[in-house]
Structure 1
Amino acid sequence: MPTRTSSALVLLIAALGGAATMVVELSAVRLLAPWFGTSQAVWTNVIGVVLLALSIGYLLGARLSSGARVERSLAFVLFAAAASAAWIPFLVPHAARWFLPPELALDQAAGLLRWGSLATALVAFLPPALLLGGVAPLCVELLERGAHRGAGSSGGRVLCVSTLGSLAGTFATSYVLVPEFGLVRTFLAAAAVLAVLGLLAAWRGREARLALWGLVAGSAWIAGDPRRPALAEGARLLEARESPYQSVRVVEFTGPRGVERRELQVNEAFDSFQSVWVKEPGLVGDGVYYDLFALPPWWGSATSAWHVAVLGLGAGTTLRVLEGTLPSGTRLDALGVEIDPVVVELGERWMELAPGPSRRVLGGWDARAALAHSAASFDQIVLDAYSNQMEIPAHLCTREFFQTVREHLVPGGFLCVNVGAFGLEDPVLVAVANTAALGLCEPVLAFAVPFSRNVVLFARRERPLPDPAGADFAPAPAGLARLARRLALPGVRKRFEGDAAAPLLTDDRCDIELLQLRSIERARFEPSGGGP
């Protein structure tokens, strides 16, 4: 075999092929997120598809390596991988819409989330991963033929540089490429690198010319713009960003009186938003769970200052609700923790999330880590940390976490937890509420939010919660009084005392994602469990 392709070039191809594989795998979940979320089920589907594709690709590479012109085969595989990688961000929106029609509401689409993400991953990600799997065997063959090395020596070197390339691709994708350039440009950059490697591997005139024409054709194909989930009627896009965690956008709604509402949406494809802004601080309106967070300051007879920590701050909706509803003369002293710094940036720019002496905002912090490192105690702790629509982070719903929360509440302090659930018998709600009751050593009262699929949990350290039938349950302001009267109606609340025999979530064993799957399956087959 002529040594037209040097050993250094072969090893470079193997390394960059490994890097491209991780770019495809890690970016795949982010690309699927606007339609299917980023749950463990979606990750499992993507990883499974990539592993299946790589195994087939290894066989393909082994088959091609027995040919006479291995360089040409390697060039073909690289360029085909480049073309298929470039198509991914433009193919996924169409495939996702096919397997998960956008007009479906969340409870209707629940049964399609798992298998729709698998089908979309097979269509979009199997071809490039399969082709990338063929790179390593061909590189091993080229080294063995060109440098007259043994199979073990050649294979070991290729595996080494390929794994190092995968390592570099892992960090580059998460920390540089996606945050700095976005998903589309990340895929296009990977495709361009693979195409250049294909040109170098071809080396000879005819193959290089064919590859070059193919690169031009591929560039023409990808010149369009990918379709993201459509905006609602009457909405205007203010800004869209790719963060290290998710796709984020801010949309604005106008009415007869001008701008009426802004929503911050993350990976949304159905009928939800992550944060909402209205012109004046205070209650947002019917069907919005944030309003319930305004009740504890009145129940707790807040005086000069009300100290609150919001874990999962988002763009600051909870703070605006509290600022507009606190008793007269009460100052809000707030700590907000948000893991996604891009969400904080957009909140500051579009939703009046301005940090100040009495409003500390920790962007880029995990909620549990921030609480554990805080020496402060609070009158109210709000837990509203979610990934996508209904995915509760496992470490934020365990008994040990709620024990930490108790340590940071003053006597008489309140914990408020937003739980996405389909009614008061939802498996997720039952497990989280029971775990909170056991971790806090206090009863938990769950209220189904009117006109919503949210349930808000309330617990109070060393003090009784107000009785929904009592006179002190409804605060004085008209809006809060009306909300409290709705919560006092029969059938919209449930009390959890903490039952050791009931579902319990711990750091050692937290099957929250399995419970979430059961929740959406229950909503699919038992419409009556869908809540108020």
Structure 2
Amino acid sequence: MNSNRFLFLIAFIVGVSVMAMEITASRILAPHFGTSIFVWTNIIGVVMMSLSLGYWLSGKLVDKNPRLELLLKIILGAGLLFLVVPFLSNNLIDMISENILFFDSGVTILFVGSFLSAFILFGFPMFLLGITSPFLIKLYSVNNKEHEGETSGTIFAISTLGSIFGTFLPSLVLIPFIGTKFTIYLFSCILIFLGVAGVFSLKNKFLFLIIPFICFFSLNPSISTNASTVIEKESIYQFINVTSYDNRKYYISYNEGRGTQSILDKDNFLTGQYYDYASLLPLMKDSGTPEYLLVGLAGGTIVNALDKIYGKDINVTAVEIDKDVIEISNNLLNLENSSLNVVNMDGRMFLKFNKKKYDFIYIDVYINEMYVPWTFSTSEFWKIVKNSLKEDGVVGINLFSGGENTDFLKIFSNTIAKEFGHTYGLWPIKNGSYNYAVFASNESINFDKMKQKKEYKVLSDQIDYFLNNYIDINYSEDIKVFTDDWCPVEFLTDKTIFN
């Protein structure tokens, strides 16, 4: 192969690998720390810091020893270090997490834990890959001394083109089909095979080439599992884990599993948890055969209860962004019935382009276990919800908070109260629970009517608790509201969880 073309190939492969490893780093950390802005900040920060140190050292190293063989050995080292990440990640991250619990702030625990994990697992191999660009420029310019500017531009262009491929390929193809660990394994092998060319001895080349095959047969594709796991899957959006201890009751959780997204009990459609209160909405006003929109299907706990309680007397549309979650829910619950329509779409996008008016809308959307997406928290979002609701319709949302006096809960409920004339809170949804609910309508709601509907006595406990504990929420100009421009829900949620 022409030496310049080989240098271009190196630049492209390194560019692909840098971005591919950065994307997969988020998936390695997600089951333990989630994918909040703090985690992504640390991943990007570690990568940029490592690359910059590599650039700096390479500038010094290449002037003293500008040999292609040395560059290939550096790439080989990066490949070997990446290769051990899938084997070390779980135990290493658990050890880090256990040893930083002395911090008083939960945000600090999350930030420090994810930073140390990203740095130890990905920092040094990224540093080695950072050495390659100045090395390639120096090697290429040996035969092109009169065009050093063109040389630098060409190398960086090819490397950046590789990074573009490395951004889309893992996200859209590799991770959904072969998983995170095998994606890391694949790119590690590519770097190893490329780097082996810099090893002189044929015997040593064979040794380095056999290592990936040994690792392949030792690799466990699981990212985080336990004895009770019955389904484990990586979707485009998250790591999904379904556990059961008796094959009758199933728990669905995402990523690090600090929260439970759904409880599916084959013997009882009511869970005794916050999900049950979504079934109260149809009792809050008379509406014939109501149209009920659920944003956030998850495991189907809420739609299952609605079907068992109201049957064909209600039409339910459930919106869920993750098609793998829909598939799992359908397998566990067999969700297909004539009154249920499941839509695979982002909830805010669905509401934005929706032309239909609903009697009831309930929002139960979470990312990373306990975070309401910021896009579902803002004043602009609640205007969109209002446009999809009938004039006397009722909307409800489930929130996670460490207490009723948190900044998160105050600002969130105030944001809703700004858009709706009548807003109510259930603090908390259940005694001892960290789940809180906000209900709102354009018109006043006579909740006492719920008590009169004797045919729904299965909900009598939930009705009694609601009537005895709900409060009125009035909009206050002294309290901030979330907007599309300012909405630090992740920071405020972390603050309430840990403090």
Compare the two structures and name the one with the higher helix fraction: 2
1:346 and 2:334 equivalent? no
Counterparts in 2 of 1:50-449, with a 5 A limit? 50-68=47-65, 70-101=67-98, 111-148=108-145, 150-200=147-197, 202=198, 205-206=200-201, 209-217=203-211, 219-220=213-214, 223-225=218-220, 228-231=223-226, 235=228, 237-254=229-246, 259-270=247-258, 272-280=259-267, 282-285=269-272, 288-303=273-288, 305-326=289-310, 331-354=313-336, 356-363=337-344, 365-449=345-429
Which residue type is aligned with residue 261 of structure 2?
Answer: Q
How many positions carry a matched residue from both structures?
494
CA contact (8 A) 2:50 2:126 kept: yes
User: Which residue in the other structure is 1:484 paired with?
Assistant: 463
Between stretches 131-140 and 260-269, larger displacement belongs to 260-269
1:463 and 2:444 equivalent? yes
1:511 and 2:488 equivalent? yes
* Closer, same or farther: CA 513–331 of 1 in aligned 2, 3 Å: same
Which residue type is aligned with residue 483 of structure 2?
Answer: T
Which residue type is aligned with residue 43 of structure 1?
Answer: W
User: Which residue in the other structure is 1:528 paired with?
Assistant: none
Normalised to the residue count of structure 1, the TM-score between the two structures is 0.87
For 2:303 and 2:99, the matched residues in 1 are separated by 32
Between stretches 494-503 and 20-29, larger displacement belongs to 494-503
CA displacement, residues 461-490 of structure 1 (integer Å, 9 cap, x when unaligned): 323252xxx57458534442212323444x
Percent of pairs with identical residues: 28
SS in 1 for 2:111: helix
SS in 1 for 2:335: coil
How far did residue 229 of structure 1 move? 3.4
Runs of at least 5 residues in structure 2 that lack an aligned partner in the other structure: none
For 2:321 and 2:83, the matched residues in 1 are separated by 31
Which residue type is aligned with residue 511 of structure 1?
Answer: P
How far did residue 209 of structure 1 move? 4.5
Which residue type is aligned with residue 461 of structure 1?
Answer: N
Which residue type is aligned with residue 195 of structure 1?
Answer: I
How far did residue 240 of structure 1 move? 1.7
How far did residue 269 of structure 1 move? 3.7
* Closer, same or farther: CA 214–504 of 1 in aligned 2, 3 Å: same
How far did residue 399 of structure 1 move? 0.8
Between stretches 217-226 and 500-509, larger displacement belongs to 217-226
How far did residue 227 of structure 1 move? 6.2
How far did residue 383 of structure 1 move? 0.8
How far did residue 332 of structure 1 move? 2.3
Runs of at least 5 residues in structure 1 that lack an aligned partner in the other structure: 525-532
SS in 2 for 1:66: helix
SS in 1 for 2:394: strand
User: Which residue in the other structure is 1:527 paired with?
Assistant: none
* Closer, same or farther: CA 359–296 of 1 in aligned 2, 3 Å: same
User: Which residue in the other structure is 2:40 paired with?
Assistant: 43
For 1:447 and 1:383, the matched residues in 2 are separated by 17
CA contact (8 A) 1:284 1:321 kept: no
How far did residue 93 of structure 1 move? 1.0
How far did residue 245 of structure 1 move? 0.9
Which residue type is aligned with residue 502 of structure 1?
Answer: I
CA contact (8 A) 2:242 2:250 kept: yes
Which residue type is aligned with residue 220 of structure 2?
Answer: D
SS in 1 for 2:181: helix
How far did residue 504 of structure 1 move? 0.4
CA displacement, residues 399-426 of structure 1 (integer Å, 9 cap, x when unaligned): 1111111111123211110101112112
CA contact (8 A) 1:315 1:347 kept: yes
How far did residue 374 of structure 1 move? 1.4
CA contact (8 A) 1:93 1:226 kept: no
How far did residue 150 of structure 1 move? 3.4
CA contact (8 A) 2:51 2:126 kept: yes
